[in-house]
C-alpha cells in the first residue's frame, strides 16, 4: 500500500493538474480527497467521513453569515443604491484629474461595504460607471481597468465573504477578520485614487476633470450615498461594539436595505420590484450553493491531507530554513500571485491554507494580519491574466471593450496593490488596530 505522506504529495500534484485542466476546484479536491482517503484507509471509512463532513463542518453557525452578506449586495443593486452612491462620488470628486475614475473607486468601495462579492461589484459598475466615463472622453482601458480593480475592494472591505471563509478555515474570530479589513480596504481605495490622479495629471487625455460642479449639486447628490453609509455603520458598529454578531449584522443590513427599497418604491415608484426581489433571492441562493459546494469538496481534501501529515511536515521544514522569515513570507506571497492567475480566490484559500497556515504560525506571524495580506494578494489575482475573473466580467458586460484592453488597463492598479501590500507589511498595526481595540466579547 502507498505511504500516506507520498499519497499527500501525489494528491497535491493531481489537484493542480485537475485545476489547470479546467475542473472546478470543489469537484477536483473532493474527488481526490475521497480517493486519497480510500487509498490510505478503506472505502467505508472514506465514504463515512466524507458524508459526515458535508453536514458537520458546513452546519457551523458562522457560515450563515455568507448568504446574508451576499443578499445585502443584490438587494442594494436592485434597489438602485449603486446609482446614488456613484452620483454622490461624482459630485464630490469629479473636479480632480481623472475625477470620474476616482469617483468610481470610492463608489465601488462604498458598494463593497454592502456587497462582499468582487465580481458583482465589477458587473454593477460596468453598467453604471463605464458609460459615464466614456461619455466624457475617458480612455477605454482606464475606464475598464478602474472598474475591474475597484471591484476587488469587495474582497477586503467588510462584509467580505472570503474573509469569513478564511476565519472559519483557520478558526479565528469572524468579527476580528472583518474589522481588520476595513482600514486596509480604505487605504487601497486611496492608493488607487492617487494613482489615477497622478496619471491623469501627467497625461490629461486619459481622463479630464469635470468642470462646473456647484456646491448645490454636491449637497443635492449626497443623500444618495446615505443608505450605504447607514449599512456600513450597522455592520462595523455592531461588530466593533459586540452589540450584535457578524451573522446578525448581515441580517440587519439586509433588512435595512430591504426597508429602504420599499420606501423608495412607495414614494418614488422607482427601485426594486417584486420580480427584482425574487431575482435577488435566487441569485443569492445560487452563489451560496456554489460557495458551499466548494467548501464541501475542499474540506474532504483537507481532512485527507491531515491524515497524510503533509501540512505538519511542510511547516516544520519551513520553520527550520536558515533564511530570514520575511524572505520566506515574500516567497509565499509570490506563490499566491502565480496561483491567482489560474484559480479563483475561495478555491485558492481552501486548497492552500491547510498546508501554508501551519507554516505561517511556525514562523510567528499574526494570523489576522496574514489573512488580510493574503486576501490582498487574492485581489491581485482577480485582475491578472490569464484568469483575471473581474476583467472577464467587465468584458462580458461591455463586449465593445476588448479583453486585451481591459487587461492593459489594470496594470497601474496592480502596482497600486503591491504598494498597499508593502505598506501593510511595514506597518502591521494598520491591520491590527481595530481588532485589538474591539469591545470585550465582540470577537464572534
Q: 228-252, pLDDT tens digit by residue?
A: 888 888 888 887 777 877 778 888 8
Give pLDDT, residue 65.
Answer: 77
Give pLDDT, residue 189.
Answer: 93
Cα dihedral value 237, 243, 244, 249, nearest 10: -20
24 assigned to some structural domain: no
Q: What is the pLDDT of residues 196-229, one digit of tens each?
A: 999 999 999 988 888 888 888 888 888 878 888 8
Give pLDDT, residue 158.
Answer: 80
| 270: alpha, beta or left? (left if phi > 0; alpha if psi -120 to 50) | beta
154 assigned to some structural domain: yes
- Angstrom distance (rounded) from CA 252 to CA 254: 5
Q: Is the pLDDT of residue 443 over 60?
A: no
**Residue 116: pLDDT band with limits 50, 70, 90:** low
Q: Is the pLDDT of residue 329 over 80?
A: yes
Q: Is the pLDDT of residue 385 over 70?
A: yes
168 assigned to some structural domain: yes
Question: What is the pTM for the complete model shown?
Answer: 0.83
222 DSSP assignment: G
Give pLDDT, residue 101.
Answer: 93
For residues 429 and 180, the answer to whether their CB atoms sit within 8 Å is no
49 assigned to some structural domain: no
**The dihedral of CA 426, 412, 406, 206: what is its sign?**
positive
Across the chain, what does the average pLDDT equal? 83
119 assigned to some structural domain: yes
Counted domains in the chain:
1
111 assigned to some structural domain: yes
32 assigned to some structural domain: no
Domain, as residue range, for 152: 61-290+310-436
Q: How far is CA 179 from CA 241, 366, 369, 444, in A?
A: 11, 15, 11, 12
- Distant-in-sequence, close-in-space partners of 336: CB < 8 Å, separation ≥ 6: 348, 352, 374, 377, 378, 381
124 assigned to some structural domain: yes
Amino acid at each position: 500500500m502507498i505511504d500516506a505522506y507520498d499519497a499527500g504529495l501525489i494528491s497535491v500534484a493531481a489537484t493542480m493538474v485537475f485545476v489547470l485542466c479546467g475542473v472546478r476546484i470543489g469537484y477536483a479536491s473532493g474527488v481526490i480527497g475521497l480517493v486519497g482517503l480510500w487509498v490510505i484507509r478503506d472505502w467505508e471509512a472514506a465514504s463515512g467521513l466524507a458524508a459526515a463532513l458535508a453536514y458537520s463542518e458546513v452546519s457551523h453557525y458562522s457560515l450563515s453569515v455568507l448568504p446574508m452578506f451576499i443578499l445585502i449586495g443584490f438587494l442594494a443593486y436592485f434597489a438602485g443604491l449603486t446609482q446614488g452612491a456613484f452620483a454622490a462620488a461624482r459630485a464630490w470628486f469629479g473636479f480632480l484629474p481623472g475625477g470620474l475614475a476616482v469617483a468610481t473607486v470610492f463608489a465601488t468601495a462604498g458598494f463593497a461595504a454592502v456587497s462582499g462579492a468582487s465580481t458583482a461589484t465589477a458587473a454593477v459598475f460596468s453598467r453604471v460607471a463605464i458609460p459615464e466615463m466614456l461619455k466624457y472622453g475617458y480612455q477605454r482601458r482606464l475606464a475598464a481597468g478602474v472598474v475591474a480593480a475597484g471591484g476587488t475592494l469587495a474582497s477586503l472591505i467588510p462584509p467580505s465573504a472570503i474573509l469569513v471563509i478564511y476565519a472559519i478555515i483557520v478558526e479565528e474570530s469572524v468579527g476580528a477578520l472583518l474589522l481588520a479589513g476595513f482600514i486596509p480596504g480604505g487605504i487601497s481605495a486611496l492608493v488607487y485614487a492617487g494613482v489615477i490622479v497622478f496619471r491623469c495629471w501627467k497625461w490629461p487625455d486619459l481622463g479630464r476633470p469635470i468642470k462646473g460642479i456647484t456646491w448645490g449639486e454636491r449637497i443635492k447628490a449626497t443623500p444618495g450615498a446615505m443608505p450605504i453609509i447607514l449599512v456600513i455603520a450597522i455592520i462595523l458598529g455592531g461588530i466593533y461594539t459586540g452589540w450584535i454578531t457578524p451573522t446578525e449584522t448581515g441580517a440587519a443590513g439586509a433588512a435595512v436595505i430591504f426597508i429602504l427599497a420599499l420606501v423608495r418604491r412607495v414614494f418614488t415608484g422607482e427601485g426594486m420590484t417584486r420580480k427584482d426581489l425574487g431575482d435577488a433571492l435566487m441569485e443569492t441562493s445560487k452563489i451560496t450553493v456554489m460557495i458551499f459546494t466548494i467548501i464541501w469538496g475542499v474540506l474532504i481534501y483537507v481532512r485527507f491531507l491531515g491524515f497524510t501529515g503533509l501540512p505538519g511536515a511542510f511547516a516544520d521544514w519551513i520553520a527550520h530554513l536558515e533564511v530570514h522569515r520575511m524572505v520566506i513570507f515574500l516567497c509565499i506571497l509570490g506563490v499566491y500571485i502565480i496561483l491567482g492567475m489560474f484559480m479563483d480566490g475561495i478555491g485558492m484559500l481552501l486548497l492552500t491554507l491547510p498546508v501554508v497556515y501551519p507554516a505561517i504560525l511556525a514562523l510567528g506571524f499574526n494570523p489576522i494580519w496574514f489573512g488580510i495580506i493574503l486576501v490582498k494578494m487574492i485581489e491581485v489575482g482577480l485582475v491578472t491574466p490569464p484568469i483575471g475573473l473581474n476583467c472577464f466580467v467587465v468584458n462580458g458586460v461591455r463586449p465593445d471593450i476588448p479583453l486585451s484592453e481591459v487587461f492593459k488597463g489594470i496594470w497601474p492598479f496592480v502596482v497600486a496593490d503591491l504598494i498597499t501590500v508593502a505598506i501593510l507589511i511595514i506597518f502591521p498595526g494598520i491591520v491590527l488596530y481595530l481588532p485589538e481595540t474591539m469591545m470585550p466579547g465582540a470577537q464572534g
